[in-house]
Amino acid sequence: MSFLFGSSAEIDIVLDGQASRKQAEIKTEDGKKEKLFLYYDGETVTGKVNITLKGKKLEHQGIKIEFIGQIELYYDRGNHHEFTSLVKELARPGELTQSTTFDFEFIQVEKPYESYTGANVRLRYFLRVTIAKRLTDVTREMDIIVHTLSQYPEMNNSIKMEVGIEDCLHIEFEYNKSKYHLKDVIVGKIYFLLVRIKIKHMELAIIKRETTGSGPNTFNENETIAKYEIMDGAPVRGESIPIRLFLAGYDLTPTMRDINKKFSVRYYLNLVLVDEEERRYFKQQEITLWRKPDKGATKKPGYVSFTPHSQQVES
């Protein structure tokens, strides 16, 4: 077709320092995983655009590169909400007579949100090179991944709560924090203050809730990310059961609240007790997940333990 629409060209985007840049995985819409280059908020994005001519020359109405951050709601495919859109002109309208390389540079780009692929929503960042032509533009997109990093939260109280069903079951649970980073470990304890039901086992689940839309058109999508048995058998009054759940092994993202007024991703710890008749008693608590900068390995050992601030309930 090139002879009809004028000779075409291949566009190739090469990021600076590609060889040493970290990559990260993200799900694509069809559920597969792909590895993309990883950027952080405020980081400059620089690179080169190689345009390889397929013919002798290429007439164009201008060449530009854009840096776009957008939210796609699956039920509203037509509308993409761009929250970031930066443009750099690479060439004024004219003619390329040979394959050319353009440098580009988006200095200290604001990347306020984390890349995300969910059940109903996707948040992506990509570079788009457009060679404007009279009939059809030639474009080339390249997705990158953005991780939003947080500092240690200043306030990070433990979650402690007494719950129960009157005269039936009374427990007190305690998670050591309310905010966990993605490689963190949840440590906690469950105290049984009163047990009159025949408990079979107890598990801790991590539930991800993705909320899209607003008002009456709010969609909630719950997904159980982890199901973790923490107790086998029936405890008696006075028992305290330890909890230790490593998060690194699960597919988690930071908590996202009201991202660009379009969606939220929240995480909950769901404590579930199952009795012998398979009845389930549960209590959900929201936890905040955040991404911690990778700074070498200052990992805690696998046997990190929890020092409860209160002693076991006297029997």
Partner 1 sequence: MPQTHQLSPQEEQEKLLDEAMQVVKVQSFQMKRCLDKAKLMDGLKHASNMLSELRTSLLSPKSYYELYMAICDELRHLEQYLHDEFQKGHKVADLYELVQYAGNIIPRLYLLVTVGVVYIKTHEANRKDIIKDLVEMCRGVQHPLRGLFLRNYLLQCTRNILPDCEESEEFGGTIKDSIDFILLNFSEMNKLWVRMQHQGHTRDREKREKERMELRILVGTNLVRLSQLDSMTQDFYKKNVLPGVLEQVVSCRDYIAQEYLMECIIQVFPDEFHLQTLNNFLRACAELHKQVNVKNIIIALIDRLAMFAHRDDGTGIPNDIKLFDIFSQQVATVIQAREDMPTEDIVSLQVSLINLALKCYPDRVDYVDKVLETTVDIFNRLNLQRLESSSAVNKELARLLKIPVDVYNNLLTVLQLDHFSPLFEYFDFESRKSMTAYVINNALDNNMYIPTQKQVDSILTLVSPLIQDQNDQPQEEEDPEDFAEEQTMMGRFINLLFTDDPDQQYLILTSARNHFGNGGNRRIKYTLPPLVFNAFKLAYRFKEVAEEDDKWDKKCQKIFRFCHQTIGALIKAEYAELSLRLFLQGGLAAGEIGFENHETVAYEFMSQAFSLYEDEISDSKAQLAAITLIIATFERMSCFGEENHEPLRTQCALAASKLLKKPDQCRGVSVCSHLFWSGKTIESDGKEIRDGKRVMECLKKSLRIANQCMDNSVQVQLFVEILNRYIYFYERGNEQVTIQVLNQLIEKIRDDLPNLEGNEETEQINKHFQNTLEHLRMKQESPEPDGPTYEGLVI
Residue 275 interacting with partner 1 (CB under 8 A): no
Q: Which is nearer to partner 1, 143 or 239 (CB)?
A: 239
Residue 236 interacting with partner 1 (CB under 8 A): yes
Least distance from C-beta 296 to partner 1, angstroms? 14
Residue 37 interacting with partner 1 (CB under 8 A): no
Compute and round to an integer the Cα radius of gyration of the chain.
26
Range in contact with partner 1 (rule: CB under 8 A) among 21-29, 99-107, 166-174, 232-240? 232-240
Nearest Cα neighbor of 248 from 180, 179, 183, 181 is: 183
Residue 251 interacting with partner 1 (CB under 8 A): no
Range in contact with partner 1 (rule: CB under 8 A) among 34-42, 49-57, 133-141, 229-237? 229-237
Q: Which is nearer to partner 1, 36 or 226 (CB)?
A: 226
Residue 215 interacting with partner 1 (CB under 8 A): no
CA pair distance 91, 236, nearest whole angstrom:
76
Paired residues of 106 in beta bridges = 45
Residue 227 interacting with partner 1 (CB under 8 A): yes
Out of 33, 242, 258, 294, name the contact with partner 1 by CB under 8 A: 242
Q: Which is nearer to partner 1, 90 or 204 (CB)?
A: 204
CA pair distance 191, 184, nearest whole angstrom:
23
CB atoms within 10 A of CB 208: 22
Out of 79, 166, 303, 307, name the contact with partner 1 by CB under 8 A: 303
Least distance from C-beta 288 to partner 1, angstroms? 22
User: Is 47 exposed, middle or buried, given 0-12, 13-18 or 19+ CB atoms closer than 10 A?
Assistant: buried
CA pair distance 15, 103, nearest whole angstrom:
10
Residue 223 interacting with partner 1 (CB under 8 A): no
Residue 232 interacting with partner 1 (CB under 8 A): yes
Residue 239 interacting with partner 1 (CB under 8 A): yes
Residue 296 interacting with partner 1 (CB under 8 A): no
* Binding characters for partner 1, 10-29, by CB under 8 A (x = yes): --------------------
Range in contact with partner 1 (rule: CB under 8 A) among 48-56, 116-124, 126-134, 228-236? 228-236
Residue 64 interacting with partner 1 (CB under 8 A): no
Positions in the binding site for partner 1 (CB under 8 A): 201, 227-236, 239-242, 244, 246, 248-249, 299, 301-303, 305
